Amino acid sequence: MARLFYSERGDHIESTEPVRVSRYRGITRLNHWITAGSLILLALSGLAFFSPSLYFLTGLFGGGQIARWLHPILGVVLFLSFALLFLQMWRLNLPRPEDTTWVTRIGDVVTGHEERLPELGKYNAGQKFIFWAMSGLILVLIVSGVMMWQQFFDGLVPIQIRRIATLIHALAAVAIILVFILHVFAAFWVRGTLRAMTRGDVTGGWAWRHHRKWLREVAGRGDRGPAE
């Protein structure tokens, strides 16, 4: 079987009238939503301890004591869930030459002039940035979080190191919340994108407009279309 450069084995044309292309398997979508859900709960519980003015958020978890106990457990869930997602997606998120062109033409991306952009695989440079930013930040959060988790790792690091870990943890948390907001905004901004993670497929027109190299490989075509 030929090596795939822009798609995964599970990607396929589901129907031709209208054209629909399978983009994410059910297990991948479930994995994604577990990751997203745990990140949201972590953000809410973490913000509750970030400032006294936000302490009221602990009420969502049944009080401060439960929120403090639950927060690191949710962190482990996030780490393990994203690790599974990482194993599924890392290969297609590696940088490619067309990503540089896409970034330099970000103005055309914002204004919707897709015809001026290069053909792309399954993910564009913006999506790849989100993926690798999440990967790095989650790793920083789990390492610094373990250093702070006194219930099980009280003697793991000296108090001075724990204080530094706390600062790094807070900064990484703010950063990942911003990246998450960007991710959600992009999902709603590009019409048809959210469907891929809710129903698992996209329209042929969406695939042709935004991820043409991916569509070509999925369809098994070597010809060049009219909108080059």
Gap between the Cα atoms of 148 and 155, Å rounded: 10
Long-range interactions of 96-104: CB distance < 8 A, separation 24+: 96/121, 98/213, 99/124, 99/125, 99/128, 100/125, 102/126
Q: Nearest-CA neighbor of 48 among 32, 70, 33?
A: 70
Any catalytic annotation for residue 12? no
- Among the listed residues 12, 183, 210, 211, the single catalytic one is 183
Place of tokens 């106990």: 69
Contact status, residue 145 vs residue 72, Cβ threshold 8 Å: yes
The residues annotated with a catalytic role in the active site are 183
